[in-house]
Amino acid sequence: MVKISTSLFTIEKKELVKAVKAASNTNYFHIDVTDGEFVKDAKGGASLFYNESHIKIIKSNSTVPLDVHLMIANPLDNIERYAKFYPHYISFHIEAAQDPLAVIKKIKLHGVKPAIALNPDTPLSMVEDLLKSVDMVLLMSVVPGKGGQGYIPQVTGKIRQLRKMIDEQGLDTLIEVDGGIKLDNIYLPINACVDIVVSGTGIYAPSGHEPTDDYKDLTPKEVIEKMKDILALGSDHGGYKLKESLKKYFDKKGVSYKDFGCYNEESVDYPDYADKAVKEILRKEYNRGVLICGTGIGISIRANRYKGIRAAKCNSVFDAEMSRKHNDANILVLGGRTTSLPSAKKIFDKWYTTEFEGGRHQRRVDKLDGMVTY
Pairing of strands 257-259, 196-199: unpaired
The residue with its CB nearest to ligand RB5 is: 298
Mention every residue, 6+ apart, whose C-beta is less than 8 A from residue 104.
114, 116, 130, 133, 134
Q: Which is nearer to ligand RB5, 197 or 311 (CB)?
A: 311
Own/partner long-range contacts of 338-342 (Cβ < 8 Å, ≥24 apart):
338/294, 338/295, 338/296, 339/242, 339/296, 339/315, 341/242, 341/245, 341/246, 341/249
Residues forming beta bridges with residue 259, ordered by sequence position: 233
- In the complex, least distance from residue 10 CB atom to ligand RB5, rounded to whole angstroms: 50
Q: Which is nearer to ligand RB5, 143 or 297 (CB)?
A: 297
Which residues, listed in sequence order, are joined to residue 68 by a DSSP beta bridge? 31, 90
- 67 vs 236, which CB is nearer to ligand RB5? 236
Nearest to 46 by CA among 75, 72, 84, 67: 72
Of 183 and 293, nearer to ligand RB5 (C-beta) is 293
**From the CB of 236, what's the least distance to ligand RB5, in Å?**
5
- Catalytic positions are 32, 178
User: Cβ closer to ligand RB5: 203 or 242?
Assistant: 242
DSSP per position, 6-75: EE-TTS-GGGHHHHHHHTTT-SEEEEEEE-SSSSTT-TTTTS-SS-HHHHHHHHHT--PPEEEEEE-S--
Q: Nearest distance from residue 323's CB to ligand RB5, in Å?
A: 18
Answer whether 22's CB lies under 8 Å from 221's CB. yes
User: Residue 314 Cβ, how far from ligand RB5 at the closest point, in Å?
Assistant: 15
What's the closest the beta carbon of residue 297 comes to ligand RB5, in angstroms?
4
Chain contacts with ligand RB5 (rule: CB under 6 A)? 236, 238, 270, 293-295, 297-298
